[in-house]
Amino acid sequence: MTSPVLILGARSDIARATARAFAAEGHPIQLAARHAADLQNDKADLETRYNVEVTLHDFDVLEVDRHDAFVDGLPVLPGIAVCAVGKMGEQADNETDTAAAVAVLRSNFEGPAILFGVLANRFAERGAGTLVGISSVAGDRGRASNYVYGSAKAGFTAFLSGLRNRLCKRNVHVVTVKPGFVNTAMTAHLDLPKKLTADPAEVATAIVAAVNKSRNIIYVRPIWWAVMMVIRNIPEAIFKKTSL
Amino acid sequence: MTVSGWGNFPKLDARLSAPRHEAALAALVAEGRAIARGNGRSYGDSAVSVANTIDMRCFDRMLGFDPATGQLVAEAGVMLADVIDSFLPRGWFPMVTPGTKLITLGGAIAADVHGKNHHVDGSFRACVDWIDVMGPDGAVTRCSRDENAVLFGWTLGGMGLTGVILRCAIRLRPVKSGWIRQQMIPAENLDAVITAFEDNMDATYSVAWIDCAAKGDRLGRSLVMLGEHADPGEVPARHRATPFHAPRHRKITFPMNAPSFALNPLTVRAFNALYYWNGARQKGQSIVDWDGYFYPLDAILKWNRLYGRKGFMQFQCVLPQDTARDGLNRLLTAISESGQASFLSVLKRFGPQDSPFSFPMEGYTLALDFPRHARAIALMPDLDAITLDHGGRYYLAKDSRLPADTFTAADPRAADFAAWRRDNGLADAFASAQSERLHL
Ligand SMILES: Cc1cc2nc3c(=O)[nH]c(=O)nc-3n(C[C@H](O)[C@H](O)[C@H](O)COP(=O)(O)OP(=O)(O)OC[C@H]3O[C@@H](n4cnc5c(N)ncnc54)[C@H](O)[C@@H]3O)c2cc1C
Ligand SMILES: NC(=O)c1ccc[n+]([C@@H]2O[C@H](COP(=O)([O-])OP(=O)(O)OC[C@H]3O[C@@H](n4cnc5c(N)ncnc54)[C@H](OP(=O)(O)O)[C@@H]3O)[C@@H](O)[C@H]2O)c1
């Protein structure tokens, strides 16, 4: 039987597409989000489309001291967990409003990292499992336009890399996803370049393929690998004067 | 942002929003001059409002299926392609489907689309049990043939101008395989095509591809294609073990807008002749998979780029049964004489249709694509005059260019529709560039 997939931040567009892509392969799905009761229609959708079992779970990534209890409360320990939780905020607010910056740092880094730490230990104990963290190219280099979000993602990326290094001997695999631009609610107000922008379904397909092939780090559109290669290699003396 | 229909004309700078839940949708609707947009497969300006275009594709959840009745309940942004993906493996297929599966259920209902089985099963309406429609104040009304029947009637074919369709219950058709038994009948002229249609009124599916470049004795020469859902025993041996899983077609994407000389009378004439002779060689019966049979064009993503940056337009009218033969004769003569032959021309026999504002009526419908060149544009008034003379009317889902007086003269129902919209406070609440152009 195919193992259950836990989707964290299940209301996000990328998460919804990912849940569908795994359900299409016959995986039962555990949807976790704040106010999970609102996700009845998403549950119905997955059940209707794919004939799989779907459960709903209340979950707030910021309640880090309840993560253990949250995992205990799942009907079964999932085989795969995907974290799509994230918060971009407005860079301008993040610069001036401490509470806003804290929320961005905690939602993208602290919360997801602590939760994955809990899941990693359970998976290691079992000797099997896959963790998929949705990070961001924004974490590859801090830029004036969104370094608060970017640095939190950088922390998450580093955490995933360490976790992968620690657990690969225990048959637990960790996938880091750097989607590039994606057409979602988070970016609806931005005018994104078409060639660099993926649809949520494209991200989902890439995630399922990465899990099936045990890939480590993926850029959804390959062009992003090249773009970030260039951005990472601009000397700091020049980089600090750019506005990217 | 620039928004257009499948024909890439007109291109309008419109405000486009994609709400993700009902409250956000209601807030947008409250601003007025709203139009819902599905997958943008209508050709012209039906799904564009400069002030307030609402992309419905985030409302894409299937909510339940009853295998006892074949009823699917789903949100309006669900794609027909997804319905097939989920249900064909379980032995179900849409009851009515247009020539592309890349449309939303909302778009299918709002245009009340027709398929190759209209003469037997009617338009999409026939499979719709109920719909939920959001009005100007955000309130949602369930309507069906028995409940709020007036709203139901005008919404089917109402092109989004009666409110936003949120959810629907549609019935699917049980099938025994994902394959079609196709019968190809070459017809050497218009009389032969009409005879082929009239002789095959009991075929489940029938459609003709018509060579608009042919003249004289060959005017109207066509390939008539009949189809029946195949039994598992007829499925090609290689696929018989999994009769619902037809092979996937490779998708190719048309890479860029073609230069304007790519489609000229010569290439079009050559294509039409080749297509006819190739088809005529396949005369008789064959077994083809569902995707190739119903959706040949879906295999070429973005094929509308073939017509270049200026875009293209479709002319689609239906002529009543008693004037159809003469009307078609005159339309085809005008087209072949103009030298503006069309690449993709389709002729189809419609059966009776009983609904307030849907396009079909008993008779024949002719659909032709033209590049937006001066000479093709100049041909339109001639075709319009013939259509009006023969009591024909037009398909709003394909229209991007009709003058209001032509549309109204062809379709007296338009005035009633507009009056009903005014009386019910819908005229300013819901509007598209098309409704403004045609005074709907
Ligand atoms: C290759 C091709 C072949 C085709 N073949 C056929 C055919 O054989 N038969 C046929 O009938 N049509 C055919 N069509 C036309 C197509 O089926 C219709 O235009 C259909 O309405 C497109 O659906 P859509 O989801 O893309 O809607 P859009 O094009 O986005 O919108 C079409 C209309 O529906 C309204 N609408 C969409 N969603 C909603 C909603 N949720 N609530 C209220 N109103 C809504 C819009 O306001 C607009 O008026 C074809 C089109 C193409 C490109
Ligand atoms: N869109 C892009 O271009 C892009 C690019 C790179 C990376 N990403 C990443 O992709 C992931 C998905 O994002 P998206 O684009 O789909 O945007 P999104 O819709 O904003 O998704 C973010 C999700 O995180 C959830 N969330 C926020 N705070 C939470 C909390 N405290 N507890 C639980 N859930 C919380 C939100 O849930 P609620 O519904 O409860 O608010 C929301 O569903 C994010 O990690 C994002 O950083 C996106």
Convert the pLDDT of each residue in A135-145 to its tens digit: 999 999 999 99
Confidence of residue B275 (pLDDT cuts 50, 70, 90): confident
In a domain, B163, yes or no: yes
Side-chain half-sphere of B330: how many Cα atoms within 13 Å? 15
Same domain, B340 and B296: yes
**The pair of three-digit structure tokens given for residue B119, joined into one six-digit string:** 């003469």
Same domain, B128 and B193: no
Same domain, B164 and B249: no
B421-to-B150, B404, B424, B435, B439 alpha-carbon distances in Å: 12, 17, 5, 11, 11
Report pLDDT for B128. Answer: 98
Q: Residue A75: which CATH number?
A: 3.40.50.720
In a domain, A117, yes or no: yes
Q: Is the peptide bond before B403 cis (omega within 30 degrees of 0)?
A: no
Report pLDDT for B262. Answer: 66
Same domain, B293 and B366: yes
Same domain, B183 and B167: no
The residue whose CB lies within 8 Å of the most ligand 1 atoms, and thus the one to mutate among B42, B141, B366, is B42
Same domain, B269 and B400: yes
Q: What distance in Å separates the CA atoms of residue B383 and residue B335, rounded to the nearest whole number? A: 8
Q: Are B19 and B25 in contact (CB under 8 A)?
A: yes
Same domain, B133 and B220: no
Domain end (from B142, B175, B208): B175
Q: What distance in Å separates the CA atoms of residue B233 and residue B240, rounded to the nearest whole number? A: 7
Tell me how close the Cα of B139 comes to any Cα of chain A, in angstroms.
19
β-bridge mates for residue A29, sequence order: A5, A54
Q: What distance in Å separates the CA atoms of residue B371 and residue B7, rounded to the nearest whole number? A: 9
List, for residues A115-130, the tens digit of each pLDDT value. 999 999 999 999 999 9
The pTM of the whole model exceeds 0.80: yes
Segment B288-301 shows an average pLDDT of 89
Segment B217-243 shows an average pLDDT of 95
Q: What distance in Å separates the CA atoms of residue B75 and residue B55, rounded to the nearest whole number? A: 13
B36-to-A208, A242, B2, B17, B69 alpha-carbon distances in Å: 33, 41, 16, 10, 29
Report pLDDT for B268. Answer: 77
- Structural domain containing residue A74: 5-239
Write A157-164 long-range contacts (CB < 8 A, 24+). A157/A133, A159/A109, A159/A113, A159/A116, A159/A133, A160/A116, A160/A131, A160/A133, A160/A135, A163/A116, A163/A117, A163/A120, A163/A131, A164/A216
Which segment of B98-107, B298-307, B340-349 scores lowest on mean pLDDT? B298-307
State the total domains in chain B. 2
Q: Are B358 and B413 in contact (CB under 8 A)?
A: no
In a domain, B74, yes or no: yes
Ligand nearest to the CA of A180: 2
The residue whose CB lies within 8 Å of the most ligand 1 atoms, and thus the one to mutate among B37, B59, B121, B343, is B37
Q: Are B65 and B48 in contact (CB under 8 A)?
A: no
**The pair of three-digit structure tokens given for residue B105, joined into one six-digit string:** 């259920």
A·B CB contacts under 8 A: 30
In a domain, B357, yes or no: yes
- Yes or no, beta carbons of A42 and B82 under 8 Å apart: no
Residue A186 clears pLDDT 90, i.e. is over it: no
Report the SS3 class of residue B367: strand
Segment B358-363 shows an average pLDDT of 98
List, for residues B322-359, the tens digit of each pLDDT value. 999 999 999 999 999 998 877 779 999 999 999 999 99
* Radius of gyration of chain A measured on its C-alpha atoms: 18
β-bridge mates for residue B171, sequence order: B71
Report pLDDT for B343. Answer: 76
Side-chain half-sphere of A41: how many Cα atoms within 13 Å? 15
Convert chain A into a string of H (helix), E (strand) and C (coil). Answer: CCCCEEEECCCCHHHHHHHHHHHHCCCCEEEEECCHHHHHHHHHHHHHHHCCCEEEEECCCCCHHHHHHHHHHCCCCCCEEEECCCCCCCHHHHHHCHHHHHHHHHHHHHHHHHHHHHHHHHHHHHCCEEEEEECCHHHCCCCCCCHHHHHHHHHHHHHHHHHHHHHHHHCEEEEEEECCEECCHHHCCCCCCHHHEECHHHHHHHHHHHHHCCCCEEECCCHHHHHHHHHHHCCHHHHCCCCC
Ligand nearest to the CA of B98: 1
Interface of A to B at Cβ within 8 Å reads 13, 41-42, 44-45, 48-50, 185, 188, 191
Q: How many CB atoms lie within 10 A of CB B169?
A: 20
Report pLDDT for A89. Answer: 93
Mean pLDDT for all residues in chain B: 94
Same domain, B161 and B286: no
Mean pLDDT for all residues in chain A: 96
CA-based torsion, B323, B326, B331, B332: positive or negative: positive
Segment A25-45 shows an average pLDDT of 98
In a domain, B251, yes or no: yes
**The pair of three-digit structure tokens given for residue B431, joined into one six-digit string:** 């509007």
**The pair of three-digit structure tokens given for residue B395, joined into one six-digit string:** 């398909």
Same domain, B70 and B191: no
Residue B260 clears pLDDT 70, i.e. is over it: no
**The pair of three-digit structure tokens given for residue B211, joined into one six-digit string:** 């060579």
Q: Are B373 and B10 in contact (CB under 8 A)?
A: no
Q: What distance in Å separates the CA atoms of residue B49 and residue B30, rounded to the nearest whole number? A: 14
Residue A192 near ligand 2, beta carbon < 6 Å: no
Report pLDDT for B210. Answer: 94
Q: What distance in Å separates the CA atoms of residue B182 and residue B195, rounded to the nearest whole number? A: 18
Segment A55-69 shows an average pLDDT of 98
Q: Are A16 and A38 in contact (CB under 8 A)?
A: no
Q: Residue B168: which CATH number?
A: 3.30.465.10
Interface predicted TM-score (ipTM) of this complex, two decimals: 0.93
Report pLDDT for B261. Answer: 63
β-bridge mates for residue B209, sequence order: B223, B346
Ligand nearest to the CA of A108: 2
- Structural domain containing residue B67: 62-175
**The pair of three-digit structure tokens given for residue B24, joined into one six-digit string:** 């956000």
CA B429 to ligand 1 center in whole angstroms? 21
* Radius of gyration of chain B measured on its C-alpha atoms: 21
Q: Residue B230: which CATH number?
A: 3.40.462
Among A12, A38, A43, A48, the strongest candidate for a mutation testing the B interface, having the largest count of B CBs within 10 A, is A48
Same domain, B166 and B247: no
Using an 8 Å CB-CB cutoff, list chain A residues near B60.
45
Class of residue B64 by CB neighbours under 10 A (exposed 0-12, middle 13-18, buried 19+): middle
Same domain, B151 and B203: no
State the total domains in chain A. 1
List, for residues B17-50, the tens digit of each pLDDT value. 999 999 999 999 999 999 999 999 999 999 999 9
Domain end (from B175, B209, B235): B175
Q: What distance in Å separates the CA atoms of residue B218 and residue B195, rounded to the nearest whole number? A: 15
Q: What distance in Å separates the CA atoms of residue B253 and residue A209, rounded to the nearest whole number? A: 22
| Of the partner residues B58, B61, B82, the one whose CB lies closest to the CB of residue A44 | B61
Interface of B to A at Cβ within 8 Å reads 1, 17-18, 20, 58, 60-65, 72, 74-75, 82, 85-86
In a domain, A244, yes or no: no
Confidence of residue A184 (pLDDT cuts 50, 70, 90): very high
Sheet holding A172-178, edge to edge: A54-58, A29-33, A5-8, A80-83, A129-134, A172-178, A217-219
Closest CA to B228 of B168, B278, B280, B288: B288
Residue B124 clears pLDDT 70, i.e. is over it: yes
Domain end (from B175, B208, B237): B175
Same domain, B245 and B369: yes
Total residue length of chain B: 440
Residue nearest to atom 47 of ligand 1 (CA): B160
β-bridge mates for residue B173, sequence order: B93
